[in-house]
């Protein structure tokens, strides 16, 4: 299959198949950088065929996903992630800025969540973070494209008040955004600080666990 990487410059949306929240820990969304590229690749490669279809609009092979991740431009677009306690990237959102039309700026959002992490509202939190970032970067329209059978993302779109257009089994959803204000700017800053702090704590705990596992055999032998 010969697919251009440009096919994924403005990503589609993969369903999160949300289940009732079981009182788990809060979902914190952290902005990713080029240093997270390998984790992103691991995340996308873990998606099964159906999830790849929902995320990219077609079932794509591993080498196309690798090319997509290698060509992500973190200086132009914004990528968000949610990590579990093992520092595995369980949810990823890509906010791609489209060419401006006069003073109108539009961004397209795509999201994927690993099957093992579904039911926690991760997709919703990633969408909310993308919406507030869009406002704070002078984007006036947030856009999503997905298959119309993607019930979870259709629910998120309707709940958010997005205008939805259906055609040939696909759906386009549009959300008009209000301009940034002090509340949106401070809100995003606090969200990023909380997520960064949470990630740092998880990283320390993960390293401590690795050290413990490394010396455990020695302790037992003694």
**Each residue's pLDDT tens digit, 51-98:** 998 888 888 999 999 999 999 999 999 999 999 998 999 999 999 999
Q: How confident is the model at residue 101 (pLDDT cuts 50, 70, 90)?
A: confident
CA dist list (Å): 107 to 95, 137, 189: 6, 10, 20
- pLDDT score recorded for residue 17: 40
**What is the C-alpha to C-alpha distance for residues 145 and 99, in angstroms, rounded to an integer?**
17
Per the CB < 8 A criterion, the answer to whether 12 and 57 are in contact is: yes
Domains and CATH numbers, the chain: 5-221 (3.40.630.30)
Strands lying side by side in the sheet with 106-113? 30-31, 78-83, 89-97, 106-113, 141-147, 170-176, 163-167
């Amino acid at each position: 299959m010969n697919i251009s990487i440009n096919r994924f410059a403005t990503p589609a949306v993969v369903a999160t198949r949300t289940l009732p929240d079981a009182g788990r820990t809060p979902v914190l969304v952290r902005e990713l950088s080029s240093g997270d590229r390998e984790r992103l690749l691991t995340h996308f490669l873990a998606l099964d065929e159906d999830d790849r279809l929902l995320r990219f609009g077609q079932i794509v092979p591993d080498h196309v996903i690798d090319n997509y991740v290698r060509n992500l431009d973190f200086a132009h677009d914004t990528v968000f992630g949610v990590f579990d306690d093992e520092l595995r990237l369980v949810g990823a959102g890509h906010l791609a800025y489209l060419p401006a039309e006069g003073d109108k700026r539009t961004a397209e959002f795509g999201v994927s969540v690993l099957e093992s992490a579904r039911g926690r509202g991760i997709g919703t939190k990633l969408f909310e973070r993308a919406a507030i970032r869009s406002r704070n970067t002078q984007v006036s329209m947030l856009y999503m494209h997905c298959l119309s059978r993607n019930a979870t993302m259709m629910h998120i779109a309707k709940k958010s008040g997005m205008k939805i257009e259906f055609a040939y089994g696909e759906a386009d959803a549009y959300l008009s955004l209000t301009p940034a204000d002090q509340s949106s700017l401070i809100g995003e800053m606090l969200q990023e600080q909380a997520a960064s702090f949470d990630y740092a704590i998880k990283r320390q705990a993960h390293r401590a666990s690795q050290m413990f596992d490394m010396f455990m055999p020695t302790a037992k032998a003694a």
